[in-house]
Structure formats: C-alpha cells, structure tokens
Chains A and B, each alone.
Chain A
C-alpha cells in the first residue's frame, strides 16, 4: 500500500541521517538549554553551527554546480507563506526548544520529551494537509516570486554574491565572538 524507494536510496538516506544526527548532537544543538539559550540571545551555538554550514555549503555547492556535478534544489520564494509559516514555526520552535531535525537527535540523546514534540509534528502535518488546498489558493500566490535567488536580486554574478554572502557571514560570526565574550 505504501510506496517504498529503492534500497539504495533508503541506505543512502540512513547513512547521511546517522552522520547528520551525530553532528547535531556533538554540536550541542540537541540540548534544550542550547536552543533556548540561542532564542534568549545568550548562547550563540545554534547560529555558529548554522552559519558555518551555510558558509562551507554555499561555496562548495556553488562550485560543484558550476562544474556540472550537482543540480540545485531551490524552494520557491512566496513572501506571505514564508513569513507567516516562518513566524508560526518560530513560536513552535521556542515552545518545544527542538526543531524537526535536532528533536530527532535529542530523542536519541535521551531527551524523552522530544516524543511529545514528534507526536505534535505528526498532528500538525495532518492539520496542514487538511488546510493545504485553501493555503495553496489563498496564501501561496501572495508575493509569489518563484525560484528567486539572492544573485537575481543583487548586482553581480552568482559567484560574486556567493563570496559576498560568505564575507557577511564571517563578519557576523566575528561580531558574535566579540560581543559575546563572557
């Protein structure tokens, strides 16, 4: 009844998932107080992990794409949906102090309250599906810009924008280090 991908795809997903979960736990982002600490602007571990990942990944994937090694998977920009969904997500993010990825790592770490978050995620996903037709008709078209990327928005080629973004991220990380010395 339920379709299953090929064993190769399932094994690849599992291996990448183990590594991802391992890294999330080692990075401390599976811990309740680290996530809440970020949202209270006291502990910047989450920002450091995310921005370092974006720094390395953006440069790496840009050049792999230029070399024809990978395809990009750009999600559509829909201003209303991105902002409304983003803010709703943010409220849930603070309430549970886990996100869909780090919550799974937190469960592995032994934070059993992540199970309550996981059941909530299942309920919330089904609720969204109930509303999906209405949201697609009424909300998604508001400010729909398609697969918009920063390089179409800013002057300069994609390579210039990738390096510009990298410089901004480095500046942000340096600022966080200087502002948050205990």
Chain B
C-alpha cells in the first residue's frame, strides 16, 4: 500500500473539468443553503459553522488523556468541550453526504480521489495521507485564529455583512489559490 511514488507519475497535466461536476445546479444548492441559514437562525438561534465541532472533539480527547492540562488552556476555558448543536451538525453532515451520494449514485468508496491519482500517482497513499493530515492541522489552526471556516465566516459571517468574515473569506481563497497553483499548475 505504501509504495514510493514513481517520479514519472508526478507532475502529470490534469484538468479539473474532466471529472463529474455537481449533481444539482450550484445556484439552487446555494439558494437552499441560504434558506437553511435562515432556518438555523430562526429555530436554533445559531449560525451554520463547522470548525468548532472539531475543537470540541479535540477538547474531549484532551480531557480524557491530559485532563488537568486541557482544563488549563485558555481556549477550552472559554469554550468548554460540550456535546452540543455544533458537534451534532457536523456528525450529521457525514450522514447527509452519504444519503445524497447514495440517492444520486455518486458513492466513491475509495481512499484516493481520481484527480489526485492522475496527478500524484495511482498508489500515492502515504503522500495523500500526509498532505491531507497537514491540511487539516493548518485549517483547524487557521480557522481558530481567524474565528471561523468556510461555513462560519465564508457563508454565515459574510451573509451578516461582517467585515472580518469578508476579510477572512478572501484570505481563505488567496491562500488556497496560491497553494493549489503550486501543487497543480507547475
């Protein structure tokens, strides 16, 4: 499984548009997410956000392994790791994604995405694991510093016209475009 990547498999030209696109119109989906935001504000008095759920779980694991130290950290003092709305939302997103892919006959059921394989090799399991894990670390750290992620700032914050959310969302894309270009366009 963890074979080294053959050098000639690296840096193959790939085109993101040769793969399947969205099942539904992106405008319809976006509009419905807008309506969903209205409902979460009205019903639960909460904006949609995803990144805090991961911080809650990280805090729970911390409480199990090093309880005293975890309780001493400022972030967990201010935001105790509770099982609440935010965490249930993200757990349920997994289920929602499964239902949508299943009903649309789009279940992938594989570790390496097709476009990744075409660029970095059929067997690049170790490389993908390291890159995705590092990406997760940076996203969690960045979203906590910025105060939210692509959902919390990018959708919920921008739709309330918060200046910091627009600034953050623009920076998400600046950082993302530069990095993706380095990974794929050279």
Contacts and interface: CB of A to CB of B under 8 A. Distances in A.
Given A39-B173, A39-B179, A96-B131, A73 B47 contact: yes
Nearest to B166: A150
Interface in B1-21: 15-17, 19-21
A61 B41 contact: yes
Q: Secondary structure at chain A's binding surface: helix, strand, loop or mixed? A: helix
Nearest to B172: A90
Interface string B45-89: 111101101110111111100000010011110101111111111
A133 B78 CA distance: 11
A21 B83 contact: no
A12 B48 CA distance: 12
Given A94-B176, A118-B136, A150-B166, A86 B27 contact: no
Contacts of B166: 150
B17 A182 contact: yes
Contact of A37 (B17, B134, B154, B173): B17
Nearest to A111: B108
A141 B80 CA distance: 23
Contacts of A114: 132
A5 B149 contact: no
A42 B136 CA distance: 24
Contacts of A49: 22, 26, 29-30, 33
A127 interface: yes
Interface of A: 1-5, 9-34, 36-37, 39-43, 45, 48-58, 60-61, 64, 69-79, 81-114, 116-130, 132-133, 135-136, 139, 145, 147-151, 153, 158, 161-162, 165, 173, 182
Interface of B: 15-17, 19-24, 26-48, 50-51, 53-55, 57-63, 70, 73-76, 78, 80-101, 104, 106-116, 128-129, 131-181, 183-185
The 3 closest A-B pairs by CB, nearest first: A90-B175, A120-B136, A21-B96
8 contacts: A2-B60, A10-B83, A25-B100, A94-B135, A97-B135, A119-B133, A124-B54, A127-B141
